[in-house]
Amino acid sequence: MNLIIGYVIAIGSALGTYAVHGSLLALWVPLEYIALIGLVLGSFYGGNTSKVVKSTISALPTILKGSKYNKALYIDLLAMLFEILGKVRKEGLMSIESDVDNPESSPIFAKYPEILHDHHVVEFLTDYLRMMVGGNLNTVEIESLMDMELEIHHHEAEIPAHAVNKAADGTPAFGIVVAVMGVVNVMGSVGEPPAVLGKMIGGALVGTFFGVMAAYAIIAPVSSLLEQKAHESSNIYQCIKMVLLASMSGYAPQVAIEFGRKALSSDTRPNFKELEDEIKARKKK
């Protein structure tokens, strides 16, 4: 929604102030727009691998949706981790082997469908729980492994944002290309009356106008939102990492989930009482 409102403000400001002293019809030069859009899309497609193109197309719809990484989701995550670690503390590590191997059929994971449906989060969690079940772990080495995996995840999550940002960087130059093409066309019509030449030159300059506006008012905001979405998706892994490392270090489940809670950003972090009350309420069910 913010993106749409931003577009309305930006485009409305540009066209509205122009309309005060000029005709909007002068900006209607379809061939200029078609040429610019074709240049941008062609450059984007030719300059990226199929993986990047597909991941960018898949990521674009998310910028129009609200974030699923909210306080309610993190309360679910911490409650689930508390339940898993509580089971380990009471029954031993082997008691969660079936939950780890088949999370889809696990009664614990089944209570938290939002998390279960996130394949990457479940895979990250179960991989390290499986290592815990496997035996002796060096927390320093596991932390290093987690950091390496999270770095790869961050890099892959930011690929769409970087690809779109590069497209935004090149769009003003493509606008100049389109404008030059228009000027070349004007040069072939130098014998026309000044009024006709003026209209043709104005039409050529529309390419520059649209290229610059599209870069900074249309494409750049998309890149910024994709980057923010990538950062949001990374916080959940940091939370899981801190909880599991605390558990591996010997902390009780109640303390371990506090490590994870502290790893959350302030706008999505439940306070201590909220989390404690929620866990108590779920125990009674």
CA distances from 59 to 114, 163, 179, 222, 252 (A): 19, 11, 32, 10, 38
Which pLDDT score, from 0 to 100, does residue 260 have?
A: 94
Task: Supply the pLDDT for residue 190.
Answer: 67
In the predicted model, residues of the chain with pLDDT beneath 50 are: none
Q: Where are the domains of the chain?
A: 29-285
Judge contact between 188 and 157, C-beta under 8 A.
no
No. of helices (H) and no. of strands (E), the chain: 13, 0
Angle ∠(218,31,55) on CA atoms, nearest 5: 40
Q: Which two tokens stand for residue 5?
A: 């409102």
Confidence (pLDDT) at 93: 85
The 10s digit of each residue's pLDDT in 134-162 is: 777 788 889 999 999 999 999 999 999 99
- b/e 17-48 (16+ beta carbons within 10 angstroms → b): eeeeeeeeeebebeebbebbeebbeebbeeeb
* Token pair 């009674």 in the structure block, residue: 284
Query: What span, in angstroms and rounded, lies between the C-alpha atoms of 85 and 83?
Result: 6
State the Cα–Cα distance between residues 196 and 204, nearest whole angstrom. Answer: 13
Tokens for 174, please give them: 């493509």
| Contacts (Cβ under 8 Å, ≥6 apart) of 231 | none
